Amino acid sequence: MLLLHDRSSQVRVIRIDMFAYTCLHIKKIPIRMDAQRNALEIFVRAQFDYDPLEDELIPCAQAGIAFRTGDILQIISKDDHHWWQARKDNAAGSAGLIPSPELQEWRIACMSMEKNKQEQDAEGEGGCSSHTEGCDGSTVNCSIFGRKKKQYKDKYLAKHNAVFDQLDLVTYEEVVKLPYPAFQRRTLVLLGAHGVGRRHIKNTIISKHPDKYAYPIPHTTRPPRSDEENGRNYYFVSHDEMMADIAANEYLEYGTHEDAMYGTKLETIRKIHEEGRMAILDVEPQALKVLRTAEFAPYVVFIAAPAFANVTDKITSENYILNIFEFDGSLERLAKESDMLKQAYGHFFDLTIVNNDLDETIAQLEAAIERVHTTPQWVPVSWVY
């Protein structure tokens, strides 16, 4: 049995066994707003942007709800395998359709394979045809995303393809709302492109509020200079000691500079927390794999570079670039790196601030931290259970 779905004067033919809804037969579940709310309510944070009007797979675009990365959604029904029903938190009205995690993962995998096909075709090496053979010999149908829609091939076969192992597939993260003051964020993580001004922002906030914020003192294997005291600017350790601690996973980050090793040890972050202060970190985004736990309870702020065009328009005042950025390359590079970070890690950001002006950025950040410390917080369920 087939469903004919008209979109933009084109007829889309999609198998009815994939999509269990039509515009005429969608059962919407009413939302009860009384005090006796279901104790088993499920809330998720969206980790991708979605617009049903641009989704060729949804059986009825008018029944879908649009959302942005970071939006909190209340899941009303997961009865259908491909289309969940949900509503935005604190939004009145009926539930709408959103893609299930499995459908969204399949979509991302097929789009990735199609992209690889196009890149390989451009190099004359062939690649993913409309039916691609996976590493295990399984067949995956990617053609549903092309202009010519063919019959749907069992999407579960795609899970055996290496694409699912190579991609970092993100859809929704289950969250829970914790009340103030029972829960407090313990770590402020500043992410951003190299040279966007994170170091200046961090140092300014710590100098203004040394009783509230601190930066973990790094460890290094280089010998101390005559005017340096161990534990003040650095902890000085031997190379063997540092390598042993790295092997024991005691470092958040580490690297080498001029034949000496430098790193941030996790115990230095814990020490700041024990002192009742918030640790401020300007780290690489990969560090979030360690930090996004109940122990460190991070608030992740992305310091975004202003649009390249906006910055070049402002280069009329003397030393504008040097005053705004820790400039170590072209402004165009800075903007591109910022965009790449947002695309790759945007689902981890609690807040994004565009650094058009350092003083304004610091003021926005201070206001945001104040809100975080005085309002209930949505956090991953894994931090609680």
Q: What is the pLDDT of residues 47-78, one digit of tens each?
A: 999 999 999 999 999 999 999 999 999 999 99
Q: Same structural domain for residues 245 and 312? A: no
For residue 95, the domain's CATH number is: 2.30.30.40
Q: In this structure, is residue 234 part of a structural domain?
A: yes
Q: Same structural domain for residues 345 and 286? A: yes
Total count of domains within the chain: 3
pTM reported for the whole predicted model: 0.76
Q: Same structural domain for residues 203 and 245? A: no
Q: Same structural domain for residues 203 and 332? A: yes
Q: Same structural domain for residues 50 and 67? A: yes
For residue 293, the domain's CATH number is: 3.40.50.300
Q: In this structure, is residue 62 part of a structural domain?
A: yes
Q: Could you tell me which residues come within 8 angstroms of residue 149 by beta carbon, excluding any fewer than 6 positions away?
A: 12, 13, 14, 56, 143
Q: In this structure, is residue 305 part of a structural domain?
A: yes
3-state secondary structure the chain: CEEEEEECCEEEEEECCCCCCCCCCCCCCCCCCCCCCCCCCEEEEECCCECHHHCCCCCCHHHECCECCCCEEEEEECCCCCEEEEEECCCCCCCEEEECHHHHHHHHHHHHHHHHHHHHHHCCCCCCCCEEECCCCCEEECHHHCCCCCCCCCHHHHHHCCHHHHCCCCCEEEEEEECCCCCCCCEEEEEECCCCCHHHHHHHHHHHCCCCEECCCCEECCCCCCCCCECCCEEECCHHHHHHHHHCCCEEEEEEECCEEEEEEHHHHHHHHHCCCEEEEECCHHHHHHHCCCCCCEEEEEEECCCHHHHHHHCCCCCHHHHHCCCCCCHHHHHHHHHHHHHHHHHHCCEEEECCCHHHHHHHHHHHHHHHCCCCEEEEHHHCC
Q: In this structure, is residue 161 part of a structural domain?
A: no
Q: Same structural domain for residues 252 and 322? A: no
Q: In this structure, is residue 129 part of a structural domain?
A: no
Give the per-residue pLDDT at 119.
73
Q: In this structure, is residue 297 part of a structural domain?
A: yes
Q: Same structural domain for residues 295 and 207? A: yes
For residue 256, the domain's CATH number is: 3.30.63.10
Maximum alpha-carbon separation in the chain: 82
Q: Same structural domain for residues 208 and 294? A: yes
> What is the domain extent for residue 316?
184-212+277-373
Q: Same structural domain for residues 237 and 306? A: no
Q: Same structural domain for residues 207 and 311? A: yes
Q: Same structural domain for residues 188 and 284? A: yes
Q: pLDDT by residue for the chain (385 residues), tens digit each?
A: 333 334 333 333 333 344 444 554 555 555 444 433 444 689 999 999 999 999 999 999 999 999 999 999 999 999 999 999 999 987 777 789 999 999 999 998 888 887 777 777 777 655 444 444 443 334 444 444 333 333 333 443 334 344 444 446 789 999 999 998 889 999 999 999 999 999 999 999 999 999 999 999 999 999 999 999 999 999 999 999 999 999 999 999 999 999 999 999 999 999 999 999 999 999 999 999 999 999 999 999 999 998 765 555 554 444 444 445 544 457 888 999 999 999 999 999 999 999 999 999 999 999 999 999 999 999 999 999 8
Give the per-residue pLDDT at 27.
56
Q: In this structure, is residue 94 part of a structural domain?
A: yes
Q: In this structure, is residue 6 part of a structural domain?
A: no
Give the per-residue pLDDT at 25.
53
Q: Same structural domain for residues 193 and 294? A: yes
